[in-house]
Every structure is written in structure tokens, then in C-alpha cells.
Amino acid sequence: EVHLLESGGGLVQAGGSLRLSCAASGFTFSSYSMTWVRQAPGRGLEWVSVISDSGATYYADFVKGRLTISRDNSKNMLFLQMNSLGAEDTAVYYCAKYVLATTPAFDNWGQGTLVTVSS
């Protein structure tokens, strides 16, 4: 059974940093692209970033160099380094797995980790 577990969220002051982690199990982690999606309170889903199985990375326009996605295939871990955080980054952050190697649809999601940025 696929299992994704995020951690690292919390309360941080504006301008601060956080590192989110996502522990994966139940599938061959190194063979799948992985993504981060966020959801602000009461708002819709917003895609953040993706890292392919080969390590290629892509980001949403709003990231503007503040966020860095990475992965450690030896430990089945996905990360999101978040710097220069602002109130607009307050959201639940989900990690998710691609349903197929190159199909941008996400069939397994973690429970999410809440990031709250105080201004």
C-alpha cells in the first residue's frame, strides 16, 4: 500500500524558512515523479512544484526562487525547502505521487502539513 507522510510544517514568522519532508513507502519511489500541492484555508488546490524521477524540477510562477524541491531516492524522501516565506504561503502542503511516470495526475496524497506564516 502506498503511503506518504509529510512533516516539517508549523508556525513561522514572515521572512523565515521551513523545510518540509515527505516520507514515501509502498512503491518504487525512484521511478516516479513527485509533486507538492498546497491549499490555503478555504481556497482551492494550487500546484507548487514537481521533481521527475531523473531529478528535473519545475516550479509554479509564484515560487520566484524561494522554494526548492529535492529528493533522496536512497531514503525514499521528498523535500521542499521554503525561504522568504510570506503570509500568502500559509496553506496545507501536500506531497503526491504521479499516477504514471510521465502523466501529471496524482493518485496518492499525503495527509498534508500545515504551514502558517505570521506577519
Partner 1 sequence: QSALTQPASVSGSPGQSITISCTTTSSDVGVYEYVSWYQQHPGKVPKLMIYEVSNRPSGVSHRFSGSKSGNTASLTISGLQAEDEADYYCSSYTTTSVIFGGGTKLTVL
Contact 28, 91 (CB under 8 A): no
3 state SS of 88: helix
Choices 15-23, 41-49, 66-74, 83-91 (CB under 8 A): range interacting with partner 1? 41-49
3 state SS of 80: strand
- Using CB under 8 A, count the residues that bind partner 1: 23
- The number of residues making up the chain comes to 119
Please report the sign of the dihedral spanned by the C-alpha atoms of residue 69, residue 97, residue 108, residue 75. Answer: negative
Instruction: List CB contacts of 96: < 8 A, sequence separation 6 or more.
Output: 4, 34, 35, 36, 37, 106, 107, 108, 109, 110
Which of 32, 94, 115, 117 lies at the binding interface for partner 1 (CB under 8 A)? 94
Q: Is 46 in the site for partner 1 (CB under 8 A)?
A: yes
Q: Is 90 in the site for partner 1 (CB under 8 A)?
A: no
Q: Is 2 in the site for partner 1 (CB under 8 A)?
A: no
Choices 12-20, 70-78, 82-90, 97-105 (CB under 8 A): range interacting with partner 1? 97-105
Which of 8, 58, 73, 116 lies at the binding interface for partner 1 (CB under 8 A)? 58
Which parts of this chain interact with partner 1 (CB under 8 A)?
Answer: 35, 37, 44-47, 50, 58-61, 94, 99-100, 103-107, 109-112
